[in-house]
């Protein structure tokens, strides 16, 4: 596995864990995780959401770079 593939795998794993944590925290606060893009989130959830979006962008950039 080359460095790019290893980094992609690492980011995907981190993204999965973060997504699971965000969903769990949303449910604990009475939010439906399916509505994450449509509700105003309290600061702690918003921070998790922003981290998730950042990781998604990084994963997408690496995937697009590998396709070329």
Residue 67 above 90 pLDDT?
no
Q: Which residue has the tokens 């980011």?
A: 11
| pLDDT at residue number 36 | 93
Tens digits of residue pLDDT in 1-31? 588 899 999 999 999 999 999 999 999 999 9
| pLDDT at residue number 43 | 97
Question: What secondary structure letter does DSSP report for 29?
Answer: T
Q: Name the nearest CA neighbour of 46 among 30, 22, 24, 28.
A: 22
Burial class (CB in 10 A: 0-12, 13-18, 19+), 22: buried
Tens digits of residue pLDDT in 43-53? 999 999 999 99
pTM: 0.87
């Amino acid at each position: 596995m080359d460095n790019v593939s290893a980094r992609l795998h690492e980011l995907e794993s981190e993204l999965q864990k973060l997504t699971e944590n965000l969903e769990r925290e949303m449910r604990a606060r009475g939010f439906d995780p399916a509505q994450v893009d449509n509700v105003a989130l309290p600061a702690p959830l918003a921070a998790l959401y922003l981290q998730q979006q950042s990781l998604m962008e990084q994963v997408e950039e690496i995937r697009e770079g590998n396709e070329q």
